[in-house]
Amino acid sequence: MAQENLKAVLQARYSAMKAAMSAHDGPAIGALLAPDFKSVEISGASKTKTQMIAEVNGLKSDPDKISETTLVSVSPVANQVTVDQRYEMKTVRTGKDGVAHPVKLAVTSTDTWIKSGSVWLLEETVTKEMSFFMGDRLIFHKVKP
């Protein structure tokens, strides 16, 4: 599979994940994840497929949320692909002052996709860096040690 075609296929998988997560559709999320899926947070803690789906399904819907996932690099080796990606999310949060403030979350991760039959499944995501802004003010910035 040509590099650009593979990138387009994986971008479609990320789009499907975004739609499933937004809809709180556990079965659809699960269909995109490998059976032994693992999510490694910036702290080093990890979550299984079941834990991640439960966490997503427990989130409140946010009609103001706008997000985008950018595939920075796609590195295939046999039936596995490593993707360095950047996720950006913008929304509005009401502060303690009662005023609505724009917020932004920026996260970089390294994801491992495996091919199962003819379908790419996300096997692991490792968060590398995370920044949270309220307005133009950086609230926190964390980098994986």
| Domain at 118, CATH number | 3.10.450.50
List b or e across 18-30, with b for residues whose CB sees 16 or more CB atoms inside 10 angstroms.
eebbeeeebeebb
Q: How far apart are CA 123 and CA 26, in angstroms?
A: 16
Range of the domain at 127: 3-143
Model confidence at 145, pLDDT cuts 50, 70, 90, reads confident
* pLDDT tens profile 84-130: 999 999 999 888 888 899 999 999 999 999 999 999 999 999 999 99
Count the domains in the chain: 1
Q: Tell me how crowded residue 35 is: count the other CB atoms within 10 A of its CB.
A: 10
pTM, two decimals, is 0.90
Give the pLDDT score at 94.
85
